[in-house]
A and B are shown apart, each in its own frame.
Chain A
Amino acid sequence: SAVISQKPSRDICQRGTSLTIQCQVDSQVTMMFWYRQQPGQSLTLIATANQGSEATYESGFVIDKFPISRPNLTFSTLTVSNMSPEDSSIYLCSVPPSNMNTEAFFGQGTRLTVV
């Protein structure tokens, strides 16, 4: 299993500013994902955080808006840049299913409100 610590758990930010969310896993994992959950919606994949290379973004998400770092196999950050109220969401990091684990593990999420 994997235990994921994510912080901050919540934040209220001014529009135009940026917020960096941190995700720490208690074991080395090859893949880490970042999801967004807009109010009343389900989870949408933002990107795959790749160790040692640039993140791979899903359609509709770009690096300038959501830069991601993955300095090692246990840690990743997601930055939400130049925020607007539309960025108000829950952001979650995740470790996918693998040969070792039959489930995807999620952090507790970061509830972001942009005012």
Chain B
Amino acid sequence: EDQVTQSPEALRLQEGESSSLNCSYTVSGLRGLFWYRQDPGKGPEFLFTLYSAGEEKEKERLKATLTKKESFLHITAPKPEDSATYLCAVEGSSNTGKLIFGQGTTLQVKP
């Protein structure tokens, strides 16, 4: 069974304090691992798709990396506007198109 576990559940950072969010996954035939950002009351906003171990992608203060068992979302020098819930999801070859989501990490960045 495909499964995604994110940690920590919640993270509080001071502005400028870099950190990483973890996403551990079990999937039969990874088609893609996705990172989304979700603000309260809104739908998920796409950040990255990673397809194979060793792949990395960056966008502003965010960098996503992928291994065969987990993905990390590194946040460098975060700002208060980075406060949100970050969701990780996988698409497996046995469930094409369907995303299995983790519980999310709620990030709060204080000025």
Mark A residues whose CB is within 8 Å of B: 6, 31, 33, 41-45, 48, 90, 92, 94, 96-98, 102-109, 111
A108 contacts B49, CB within 8 Å?
no
Residues of B within 8 A of A102 (CB): 32, 49
CA of A8 to CA of B99, assembled, Å: 24
Residues of B within 8 A of A44 (CB): 101
B69 near A: Cβ within 8 Å?
Answer: no
CA of A6 to CA of B42, assembled, Å: 11
A41 contacts B49, CB within 8 Å?
no
Residues of A within 8 A of B49 (CB): 97, 102-103
CA of A107 to CA of B44, assembled, Å: 8
A103 contacts B46, CB within 8 Å?
yes
Residues of A within 8 A of B25 (CB): none
A48 contacts B98, CB within 8 Å?
yes
Residues of B within 8 A of A31 (CB): 97
B78 near A: Cβ within 8 Å?
Answer: no
Residues of B within 8 A of A43 (CB): 44, 87, 89, 99, 101
Question: Knowing A42-B87, A43-B87, A96-B99 touch, does A109 contact B42 (C-beta < 8 A)?
Answer: yes
Q: Besides the contacts A43-B101, A45-B98, A109-B41, what 6 more A-B pairs have beta carbons closer than 8 Å? A: A42-B104, A96-B98, A104-B46, A104-B91, A105-B46, A106-B44
B103 contacts A97, CB within 8 Å?
no
Question: Knowing A33-B98, A43-B101 touch, does A108 contact B32 (C-beta < 8 A)?
Answer: no
B34 contacts A104, CB within 8 Å?
yes
A42 contacts B46, CB within 8 Å?
no
